[in-house]
Amino acid sequence: MLMWTLGIIFFLSGAAGLLFETLWLRGAGLAFGNSVWASSITLAAYMGGLGLGNVLAGRFGKRVLQPVRAYALIELLIAASGVLLVPLLPALAALLAPLPALAHDGAWFATPLHLALVFALLMIPTTAMGATLPLLVKALCQANTGFGRALGHLYGFNTLGALAGALAGELFLIEHLGLLGTGIGAALL
């Protein structure tokens, strides 16, 4: 029963994760006015955060006595930071516009500054996302389901959720709920 319950929860988590990634990509595109920079930095932060979160969970996860509770707290962090980034990313261009004027001939650092800031902001929820799978695998292993079975079950459900989230966002949610409404929906998932 625990395996199926956590599988469904991780399906919803996967859907939320890809909804957020889609929204962040759009927000970064508005911030940069360039889809190449936006997609590059969003994908780099997403994959980098997943990797870093996995490493951190692997390193410190042994100390976690209640992995499902830790998972729930991390999901709250993902929801809060994820939805806050939806309106913040497009606003960064206006917020950072005065900075190059403060330095003599300082326009050269505007794009690297944008990239670094967007990357750092995206690393918060994506690193948290990366820590979720190891925590749930630990919870299922504590229930004697076996590592391989637990990992395959959770990863499969999460991947199906990611597919559902990406499709729902692009085909329906963004059009009918807007960017912020879709972000709130992702946070609720």
pLDDT score of 172: 95
pLDDT score of 14: 94
pLDDT score of 103: 54
**Which residues fall within 8 angstroms of residue 58, CB to CB, at 6 or more apart?**
134
pLDDT score of 52: 97
pLDDT score of 1: 77
Model pTM score: 0.89
pLDDT score of 122: 96
pLDDT score of 155: 87
| Positions in the chain short of pLDDT 70 | 97-110
